[in-house]
């Protein structure tokens, strides 16, 4: 059955992989991005050539009115939303907590926590059956860092992802009776550009060899898990936090 999916940060990395896989199923995909319009338009073209319909929507997930407008634009283009992927996330350069300034902490928590909560709230408002929605699936992107802590690197990021795990547990209980499943994926060391934005472009390759599977993961391998959670194949799965970490 065709679905309407909105993916924050769907323009690059893990979000893009999930978006293209959703397109391969013939689903309609709204690809959100913050600043890189050309990556978003390239992703839209790939979704269309994979067989799906797609639009690109610029919105900073920390901006409440932009988040609301993003959901409105998705519904205007494709109709009611079946799935929401809370994927946009950032890291800052590796540092000990003692060396992190307020601006950095605010940026990380605003994007990864506030942005995810705003997106989940909007999805809950639109998908809950007692609010006129038709139910659906929310997939939150956490991280293995939530349980590893990322000492001397990103304890801010790790804590922001701990909040995503907690959101997933609580919201799955709130929204189960509303016909909405809520799950999270905890990726491990995945080969995307996020590591370059944290100052270590080869981080996944270098650390990936130490995982039990001996290599970093690909964005496509995480995308598979996301699309499965969006699909009806996972119809009895909610409140789950699934590690895609190569055993890390
Ligand atoms: P990425 O390659 O850096 O891509 C990030 C995406 O998020 C881009 O599409 C970016 O859009 C968008 N974005 C960033 N800030 C945004 C904002 N304020 N508003 C809207 N969109 C925003 O990241 P990734 O590696 O695919 O990571 C995706 C998710 O998986 C994140 O939540 C991350 O924490 C999580 N994760 C990743 C790994 C890993 O190893 N890669 C591991 C664990 C968890 P622009 O291009 O326009 O900036």
For residue 39, give the ligand 1 atom closest to its CA: 46
Separation of CA 20 from chain center? 14
Q: Which of 194, 220, 222, 242 should be mutated for ligand 1, with most atoms under 8 A from CB?
A: 194
Q: Would you state the pLDDT for residue 209?
A: 96
Per-block average pLDDT, block size 10, for the chain (248 residues)? Answer: 96 98 97 98 97 97 98 98 98 98 98 98 98 98 98 97 98 98 98 94 95 98 98 98 98
Q: Going by C-beta distance under 8 Å and a sequence separation of 6 or more, which residues neighbour residue 185? A: 139, 140, 141, 142, 222, 225, 226, 229, 241, 242, 244
Q: Going by C-beta distance under 8 Å and a sequence separation of 6 or more, which residues neighbour residue 242? A: 183, 184, 185, 186, 225, 229
**Whole-prediction pTM value?**
0.98
**Which residues are annotated as catalytic?**
157
Q: Would you state the pLDDT for residue 1?
A: 77
Correct CATH for 4-240 of 3.20.20.80, 1.10.260.40, 3.30.390.50, 3.40.50.720: 3.40.50.720
Q: Is the CB of 15 under 6 A from ligand 1?
A: yes
The residue among 73, 52, 69, 51 whose CA lies nearest residue 60 is 69
What tens digit of pLDDT does each residue of 187-230 get?
A: 999 999 999 999 999 999 999 999 999 999 999 999 999 999 99
For residue 12, give the ligand 1 atom closest to its CA: 9
Q: Going by C-beta distance under 8 Å and a sequence separation of 6 or more, which residues neighbour residue 199? A: 93, 94
Q: Is the CB of 89 under 6 A from ligand 1?
A: yes
Q: Would you state the pLDDT for residue 151?
A: 98
Helix (H) or strand (E) holding 243: strand 241-244
Please check whether residue 139 is in contact with residue 185, taking contact to mean a CB–CB distance below 8 angstroms: yes
Q: Is the CB of 156 under 6 A from ligand 1?
A: no
Q: How far is the CA of 128 from the centre of ligand 1 (A)?
A: 27
Q: What percent of the chain has pLDDT over 70?
A: 100
For residue 11, give the ligand 1 atom closest to its CA: 9
Q: Is the CB of 160 under 6 A from ligand 1?
A: no
Residue 31 pairs in a beta bridge with: 7, 56
């Amino acid at each position: 059955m065709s679905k309407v999916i909105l993916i924050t940060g769907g323009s690059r990395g893990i979000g893009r992989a999930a978006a293209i896989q959703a397109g391969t199923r013939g689903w309609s995909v709204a690809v959100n991005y913050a600043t890189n319009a050309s990556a978003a338009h390239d992703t839209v073209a790939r979704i269309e050539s994979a067989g799906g319909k797609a639009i690109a929507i610029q919105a900073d997930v920390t901006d409440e009115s932009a988040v609301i407008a993003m959901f409105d634009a998705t519904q205007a283009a494709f109709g009611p939303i079946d799935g929401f992927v809370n994927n946009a996330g950032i890291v800052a350069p590796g540092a000990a907590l003692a060396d992190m300034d307020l601006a950095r902490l605010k940026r990380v928590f605003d994007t990864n926590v506030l942005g995810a909560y705003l997106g989940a709230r909007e999805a809950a408002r639109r998908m809950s059956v007692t609010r006129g929605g038709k139910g659906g699936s929310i997939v939150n992107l956490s991280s293995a860092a939530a349980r590893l802590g990322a000492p001397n690197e990103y304890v801010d990021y790790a804590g922001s992802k701990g909040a995503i795990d907690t959101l997933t547990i609580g919201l799955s209980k709130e929204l189960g009776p509303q016909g909405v499943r809520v799950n999270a994926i905890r990726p491990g060391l995945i080969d995307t550009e996020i590591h370059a934005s944290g100052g270590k472009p080869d981080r996944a390759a270098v650390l990936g060899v130490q995982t039990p599977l001996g290599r970093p993961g690909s964005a496509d391998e995480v995308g598979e898990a996301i699309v499965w959670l969006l699909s009806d194949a996972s119809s009895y799965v909610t409140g789950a936090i699934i590690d895609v970490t190569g055993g890390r």
